[in-house]
A and B are shown apart, each in its own frame.
Chain A
Amino acid sequence: MSSDPNDSAANAGDADGIVARFEADALGIADLDALEELRASYLGRKRGAVTALFQALRELDGDAKRAAGAAANRARQQIGARLEQIETELRSAATASREQAELVDVTLPAIPDNLGGLHPITQTLQEIQNVFVSMGYGVVDGPEVETDWYNFGALNFPEEHPARDEQDTMRLAGDLLLRTHTSPVQIRYMEQHQPPLAIIVPGRVYRRDTPDATHNPMFVQCEGLLVDTDITLADLKGTLDHFAKALFGPGTKTRFRPGYFPFTEPSAEVDATCPACHGDGCRVCKGSGWVELLGCGMVHPALFENVGYDPTKVQGFAFGMGVDRIAAVRYGLRDIRAYYDNDLRFLRQFTS
């Protein structure tokens, strides 16, 4: 403080003088600490100049006391208001300077993510699984090395029949082979469980195809099997139509055509309207508006006999789809060799 406000007498003139000195002192205040010091000098209980004015009132009487009291109150009010104002100014200046110092360029690139990702076939399989799990199906798997019996015989492939050649088989020693489809798991599961049952079976399968744009010697299938007492072909139609709509969108239509599989009778091939062009015809569907979705049918009674079910008491349907192919349709992939090249430039595009 440039002067001591206490050295003056407590009267109205003194009050005005104190306010004037306060105004002069206040001009030099640059931070909150100095402001608090200033406040103590004038309004502080112990050494405040205005406080002294009030203490001096005890010595006065009558009009003089009233006038001096009014002057002291005025001084306290004026100084208080001014202190308030300075504090506000200082605080806002402090905020502004902090904000200036901590300015963020929000357009700067973020810290890069450290995310990897799932293979597109895994992602597509997850979506397929979700549809059937939500309908109450279980998801199970089975061995990839199979016996001739489980891969063909139990599935009603006649011995030495050309139907076996259609799935060009990679064989191991003895009667072991790499399963050509996930259908053997139908047999294995029915052998171990009693109906009613509802399962899907995802897994890798193997065929002796040289890799090209539309073939790989290894690919992923997903099988489905529902067995109960009174399941019909109409139920199969309804289920797969629901599935196609869940996978490709509610506007999807399906088409059932007769097909042939030794393990189903009647058998059908199912097409869905192309998810890329919604049926108008495009590159993905080779202009037809339809894409092949899967093969299916009513479980052949011979299978029920082979697993010890009574075919007069149970009925069911089965279906099998190539997950690689469905993924290729979804993503418009032209060359499915990309699935097994594991090129990160390819994998990184499947970010979900």
Chain B
Amino acid sequence: MTARDEMAARFAAADPDAIRDLYVQYSGPVTTVAASILRDPQLAQDAVQQTFLNAWRGAHSFDPSRDIAPWLYAIARRAAIDIHRAEQRRRTEGGHDLDVAVTPLAFDRTWEAWEVRRALGELPDDEREIVRLAHFEGRTHSEIAALTGIALGTVKSRSHRAHKRLAHALRHLVDTENVS
């Protein structure tokens, strides 16, 4: 039994301590889903908290022999959508125009975002940072080398390894052209 399997089993047994392990493992992907749907940092935080509370309250319905990620993803997505709708109602009832971003990232793409976040979480810190600088900040390898003080060749090799790991971890998305 892997550590992740053990955590899932403890969680299914409604062990409160397992929620902390679950949070360490999955707060990143849950935050990504919440932020993708809600686009409001405060609402997204509420959705993250509600996700883990709902998960714990529904732990009895989780089958520990299965991967916990899709189950938790569904709870996260539902929590974010519920908060989104409640916020829409609140604003409508208050007579204000809706100015909440409705679906900046379509709901059917939140699973892909979840999986990308999970894959990034599996990278070593130094490789993940290079991916972040390259894709999120749009920096070149030369710029990353200058910024971090790491030799250009090392930056390139870490970037290569990181992208290979990502391609492997996300092959189920890429192969089926689900990332579209």
A binds B: no
Residues of A within 8 A of B (CB): none
Residues of B within 8 A of A (CB): none
